Structure 1
Amino acid sequence: MTIGVGLLGLGTVGAGVASILTNPQGRHPMVADLALRRVAVRDPQRSRPVSLPPGSLVTDPLLVVDDPAVEIVVEVMGGLEPARTLILRAISAGKSVVTANKAVIARHGEEIAAAAAERGVYVLIEAAVGGGIPIIEPLKQSLGGNRIRRVSGIINGTTNYILSRMADDGAGYGEVLAEAQALGYAEADPAADVEGGDAADKIAILAGLAYGGTISRASIATEGIDRLDARDVAYAAKLGFVVKLLAVAEHMGDDAEGGALLDVRVNPTLLPKPHPLAGVNGVNNAILVEGDPVGQVMFYGPGAGAGPTASAVVADILNIAGIHRVSGPQAGLDPLLAASRWRRCSLVGSAHTSHRNYVRLRTLDEAGVIGKIGTCFGDAGVSIQSIVQFAGHAGAAEIVTITHEVLEARFRAALDAIEALPEVQAVAACLRTL
């Protein structure tokens, strides 16, 4: 039984998928049953790293979606539109969809899931988060019997490469970003990566799967690494930490109606060096799931690139192809998140969450300054784990404080009081700490 596949996009990931489908030797036997029928590209004359079936290239993506010989549509073109419209059109035509598009799923996943459930087709999204790391299916199925306490991860390879280089070589952010762009790890416009938007898309998807409801992507507190100072990476290392761009979804309890209250955020975070995620370096990704009764489970591997992401895409294609073999194309399963949409999820305001914190203050180099800072923290009910003074310049000092876990509202009140001290020139940096 041959199953026709249509491909929307032939960039890095699309070419990787096409290469697998057109070279089935040595792979799972079902790969040989997949026929690449049509491929939509912008420029058919462009040189391609893969040989395609004659006549398969088209410039109009509707020719892929509407082709009766195409039973599974694979969307790897990226962006919100026309990707969303094409996905919905494929679903309306009774075709299952595989997508690596985290931006579309994070913002329009509920709409797409509803359409697919009504039409009785599948939408699989393993490649949308973590590249080649299998995390979507484990959250949907293997870990379904757990109460998930927290999902945290390093889920953007570009920022992890930059932070790894800054830590290893003491290089500045701008210097390493330029290097990452030259190596192809960062886009010419790196905003989605370095400002945290890409990681926020991905944690929205993971949180929805883990906690069973729709996550408001626009409500996720997001801070990137674009304003991170190399000295904070260096100071963190001296204090026994590494800095990572961490995406976190944490269950804070339930509301009166049983809905999940969640703290979902993306920000640069200090991790103690023994932490499981602290040793994840370079372009690798890792996702740590903490639940009851499983404990801690970590998924680790390459988070981007043609090979890893194409691997995840083809795994989803094979998943759908196997169901087609057994049940026919109209399987009728709730497709996108399976049975995971079972309760309402609300994001709590940051003032009501509790965290440890790293603060770097630029102050006058005078006796008694540390004591005054400590008094401000104490008056606000903030307990200090450590406070260290580093040498500054021209009569200034840098004071780095790490707090114990404290309610954010209390911490912010302490910072306001500290900023008002005449000896304090600036709150130079403020980072979350695990």
Structure 2
Amino acid sequence: MARQQNKLTDKAVQAAAADGQKRRKLADGGGLTLVVKPSSKVWWFRYRFAGKEKTYSLGSYPEVSLKKAREGRDEARALLEENKDPVLYRRTETIKNFEALENTFKAVAEKWLELQRGQLADSTISVTRRRLTNWIYPHLGSLPIMNIEPRLVLQVLRKIENKGKYETASRMRQRIGQVYRYAISEGLADRDPSADLRGLLKSPGSKNRAAIINPDDLGRLLRAIDAYSGQPASCAALQLAPLVFLRPGELRHATWSEIDLDGAMWTVPGQRMKGTMAAKRAGKVPDHRVPLSKQAVDILRALHPITGHRPYVFESIRPGRPLSENTVNSALKTMGFDGETMVGHGFRATASTLLHEMGWTPEVIELQLAHRQRNQVAAAYNRSARIKERTAMMQQWADYLDTLKKPKKNVVPIKSASK
């Protein structure tokens, strides 16, 4: 680019005045002109683009000094060298900057979360939003999503790791990646910064949920449950949990329409079982049948006069809503069984361990636990063909739990007659 022959000086610019009511133009060279009006002084850059003469405003003096005006002129001429129109380029950049301010990470993440309704369970969306609010938004939420670099994302995730929450850090990296994939599809970002962080976070490892598998300790827990004083629905849920060993969400969202007390069968709809929302909508998650022992039926019959006139079996103190996800765990803590000893989900591990010791075949136990089977054809067959075995197992399991409630030592597991 040819060197500009500058003509103006700071003193000349400061002293410049209009000629009466007429404006004056003072050229500095290279297309830069100071337009002096009676009430203002404005910098212009005059240029030709695509055969047309155009004017590019560089601001007013003294806010924009002679030095700054020359820098603006040189930047504009550099754009012309790249065959870019300075005026159009500035308009485009202004729009981009405005969109960047509007499309912060939090704004885009919230849009993504709303799109997940119907794709993810409401509880999953709630947990994800809470984690984003607690861990991510305070650091990345107000930043334009287009401008966030991998190093900054890693710094935020390291803060989570430093608190020992390795699983949360790993899950947040995944969620950030999902938000960015949505942003890229909408043209709000060019790349996913979390993709560069694979392998850089500490492995969360696997941690089994706390569960009691010692018969004597289990007997102590069952006696504590029977002695627990709480609202009827909470007490019934606690008493039923070890008998049916469903997942906590499957238990607390039970509706009376799913339960046939006369037929002693509880059919949990596939839509409420574990699985992706897409699989549930496609009908690929089957209904789960839970044979009810005599003890389980008695618990439900006692509760029916209290909540049977409303949809939820285990209704919370707030009408029309099921028990909260923390009800069972909070009750266990109140009874002296903290999260390191026993949690609501632990009843599944308890039943699985002791039923194996009682001699029941793994296939029957796995079917009753509703663990996913790779062979879907075999799974469909087993769901119907082995219900008699599962019914016998559930009754024997309930009888065994009754024996554990009796305060005696060295309880020997009942051996199954079904092999």
Q: What range is the shorter-chain TM-score in?
A: under 0.3
TM-score for the superposition, normalised by structure 1 = 0.26
Identify the structure with bigger relative contact order (alpha carbons < 8 Å, sequence gap 6+): 1
Provide TM-score, normalisation by structure 2. Answer: 0.26
Specify which structure has the higher proportion of strand.
Answer: 1
Report the structure number with the largest CA radius of gyration: 2
